[in-house]
Amino acid sequence: MELVIKRAGSDEMEIIPSLFEKLDEDASFVNEQFFQDNRNILLIAYLGKVPCGFLYGYLLDSLNNRKPKLFLYSIDVFPEFQNRGIGTSLIEELKDIAKKSNCSEIFLITNDYNVAAKRLYEGTGAMRDGLDDIMYVYPIDKKAAFYVKNIDRGIRNGRNPI
C-alpha cells in the first residue's frame, strides 16, 4: 500500500476523535476553529485508507525576524505502524510546508528520555539546540494542572511517565 500524507482541513474533522482515541487521549471535543486559521497545520498519514499517524503544528510570527517559525507541537505514529518511515514522511512534508511558508526554522520540544523521538528528529536533520533546556508550563485549567503534576512526579521518580 502507498503511504499518503494529507494536510487535513475541516472536511476531516470526523476522523480526529479516532486519532486521539488510538492514543488513549480525550477525543470528546474537536476545536473547529483550528481549521479556520491556515497557519494551523494538521498532517495525517494514510496507508491506503487507514490513518496510521499524524502531526500538528503552528506557524508563528517572529518579533525580530520577518520570517515565521513553525512549531511542531505533536507527532504520533500508531504502534502497529511504527518503524516504517511514517514519522519521517510526516516530518518531510512539514519541512516542505515550512519552506513554502518561508519559515526560518521548525522547532519542537521533546524529553531527553524519548529516544525514539530524538532518533526521528536527528534522522530528519534536526539539531539539538541546547543541553540544558527545561520546559515550564503555567496550567490555567485543572485538567492541565493534573497532567503537569503527574508528569513531573514521574520525572522526579526517574521513570518515563508517558
Per-residue pLDDT at 146 = 57
Per-residue pLDDT at 159 = 44
Please give the mean pLDDT across all residues of the chain: 88
Compute the distance between CA of residue 58 and CA of residue 38 in angstroms, rounded to an integer.
9
Tell me the domain boundaries of the chain.
3-131, 134-162
Per-residue pLDDT at 56 = 97
What's the predicted TM-score (pTM) here?
0.85
Residues of the chain with pLDDT under 70: 143-162
Look up cell 505502524; give the residue.
Answer: 81
Per-residue pLDDT at 144 = 60
Sheet holding 69-77, edge to edge: 3-7, 40-47, 50-60, 69-77, 105-107
CATH architecture of 3-131: 3-Layer(aba) Sandwich (3.40)
Per-residue pLDDT at 51 = 97
Are 67 and 59 contacting, i.e. CB atoms less than 8 angstroms apart?
no
